[in-house]
Amino acid sequence: MEAPRDHVAALLCAEVFAARVHGTHRRKGAAEEPHVNRVLEVAEILAAHGAPPEAQIAALLHDTVEDSGDDPQPVALDRLAAEFGERVAAIVAEVADDKSLPKETRKALQIRHANGRSDAAKQIKLADKISNLRAITASPPRGWDHARRLE
């Protein structure tokens, strides 16, 4: 697929791509909403605050590499580069976590490396945190008491 030149077309292509990758993924909250809703919300937060098109597109795609590892055809950064451009793939790479590491280690690395990230990567990480906090407030995972939600 040739990389779209028009911003709206690129956004729609990224939305379809993300929806296909996350088609069977659900959020952990009690409502178990589709995971793709989260990446749509992250991109919407960025668009509402004037983030550049590459950041919005990368926001839609930012979990595709991490969340497709068990898929028959996992998504790789070179595929994102071919379909959405090198800059988008580079932003996704900056935002991605190494899922083989324990959660506490991943979170510590996010904090340690945050200052050196591009503006687009920082924007995605912040919008992602906002989306996660909204979800925890609206539909916390089953068994999460008030103390766990605050944590």
Residue ranges per domain, the chain? 7-150
In this predicted model, what pLDDT tens digit does every residue of 94-140 receive, in sequence order? 998 887 888 889 888 888 888 899 999 999 999 999 998 998 888 88
| 124 vs 146, residue with greater confidence | 124
In this predicted model, what pLDDT tens digit does every residue of 3-30 receive, in sequence order? 446 889 999 999 999 999 888 878 787 7
151 is an active site residue: no
Percent of the chain with pLDDT over 90: 46
Burial 18-48 (b: 16+ CB within 10 A, else e): bbebbeeeebbbeeeeebbbbbbbbbebbee
pTM of the model: 0.86
Enter the DSSP assignment of 26.
B
Average pLDDT for the chain: 87
Q: Which CATH architecture has domain 7-150?
A: Orthogonal Bundle (1.10)
Whole-angstrom distance, CA of residue 87 vs CA of residue 26: 28
104 is an active site residue: no
Catalytic residue among 54, 67, 83, 128: 67
